[in-house]
Amino acid sequence: MNADLIKAANLLREAGFNLKSLTRDFIHPCLTVDGTPISPSANGFHQAMKAGKPVYERVLGEFVISVESANAADPAEDWFDCQVTVAKSTAPIVSLTGYGWLQVVSGAEFVGQDQGYLSNWYLNNVGYDPVAEEPNIDFAELVSSCEELALINNCGGVDSAAYLSIEGIRARED
């Protein structure tokens, strides 16, 4: 994750927003677990109108997650660029693009972790220990690999609509 996304993950953590427990029934407000775009209402969000635009909101404990389209369309059609905001009471904590949200949800677990944690996560989720296979593996490369594998998993796999969209956008940016 880049520095801005790490900052967002830390702000959420400092505010008491536990990504794993609070988002256990959805990874992204506009995606199914298999990476298919859906309306946020299918993930328990309720629609409201703000400034003439539809906004979807869901209360999770003391937090409110809101989702709105970047271009006033249905957020499901715009899941990559939609705006996902987390607020505590009425004070926004972070506001991210849909893709940024997915990156934070996928990578926050690895922020500040050591090589042992990452190696164990990789072993439990992929089936082998990359550090045992390559003892001189670069730490940043290990973190990046864990983040990407978590992202793939959270998108529903490498063949999911969500991950294929991400790969298509990455290819255009290169």
Residue 24 pLDDT more than 80? no
Averaged pLDDT, 26-54: 88
Residue 93: per-residue pLDDT: 95
Query: Confidence class of residue 73 from pLDDT cuts 50, 70 and 90?
Result: low
Beta strands in the chain (DSSP E): 46-50, 53-60, 63-68, 83-88, 91-97
Interhelix angle 139-155/98-107, rounded to 10 degrees, is 120
Query: Confidence class of residue 7 from pLDDT cuts 50, 70 and 90?
Result: very high
Residue 34 pLDDT more than 90? no
Lowest mean pLDDT among 8-12, 49-53, 114-118, 119-123: 49-53
Residue 150: per-residue pLDDT: 93
C-alpha distances in Å from residue 99, one per residue of 26, 48, 69, 85, 123: 15, 23, 13, 12, 26
Q: Are 87 and 64 in contact (CB under 8 A)?
A: yes
**Domain map of the chain by residue range?**
3-104, 109-173
For the chain, the average pLDDT equals 90
